Amino acid sequence: MLETKNLVKKYGGKTALNDISFPIEQGKTYLLLGPNGSGKTTWMKTAASLSKPTSGSVLWNGTPVGVESRKEISYMPTESFFYPWMIVADVGDYCTDFFEDFDLDQFRDLIRDMELPADAKVKSLSSGMNAKLRLAAAISRKARVYLLDEPLNGIDLVARDAVMKAVISVMSPDTAVVISSHLVEEVESFVSTAIFLRNGKLLEITDTEDLRTRTGKSLADRYRELMQ
């Protein structure tokens, strides 16, 4: 459904993504793995059509991502991006205004479950609270693809369970979820495929259950092997 083809992205003189190709298929949950600067965020921003490729493309049902794909691809950025004048409830209203697939009731349930006060100023939220708000906004859409960039960053142990349950709840046979996280152990029980990146290059695509059955290794083991 979401096809990356020979994607290259350069910033100034630096190559962030170096000719990578891979498919994202529905019904699967992907984990993007790689050290900082390996190109995970750059790929997500390109797939979310925020960033334009230097060459190559990301295709959504055969056409380059853009205004149309934004209707069906939901993206949770790794940094705060809301307008500073907003309160938590404003974020729900904003998404309702712009995304036809946004479920406001679900958003309200999620922020309640994650103990985010609806009248809190977005500016005053801690980084963990802000991450929860970004996640709630992204997964309250009935999207076809969810791109979640470091959804566990800044989220304390107690809240992690709620966050991961929220992520699992959007998985279905006709959606795809792509998560980037360096907390491999936390997420490896529920991802189906791992995509290893290093220095903007694609190293390997691995089916997680297959890896365990074939080699008796965990994703974390394989990650350490590949990055040495």
Q: Is the dihedral angle over the CA atoms 170, 192, 163, 36 positive or is it negative?
A: negative
Q: Following CA atoms 74, 80, 81, 87 in sequence, which dihedral angle do they give, to the nearest 10 degrees?
A: 100
Report the residue from 5, 70, 142, 201 that binds other proteins according to the rule CB under 8 A: 70
CB 116 within 8 A of CB 129: yes
CB 119 within 8 A of CB 88: yes
The residue range among 41-49, 56-64, 103-111, 119-127 that interacts with other proteins, by the rule CB under 8 A, is: 41-49
Q: Is there binding between residue 81 and other proteins (CB under 8 A)?
A: yes
The residue range among 18-26, 116-124, 149-157, 186-194 that interacts with other proteins, by the rule CB under 8 A, is: 186-194
Q: Is there binding between residue 172 and other proteins (CB under 8 A)?
A: yes
Which residues are CB-neighbours of 83 under 8 A, at least 6 positions away?
90, 122
Q: Is there binding between residue 178 and other proteins (CB under 8 A)?
A: no
Beta bridge partners, 8, equal: 55
Q: Is there binding between residue 192 and other proteins (CB under 8 A)?
A: yes
Give the interface with other proteins as residue ranges (CB under 8 A).
11-12, 27-29, 45, 48-52, 66-68, 70-71, 75, 77, 79-83, 85, 94, 97-99, 161, 164-165, 168-169, 171-173, 185, 188-192, 208-209, 212-213, 216-221
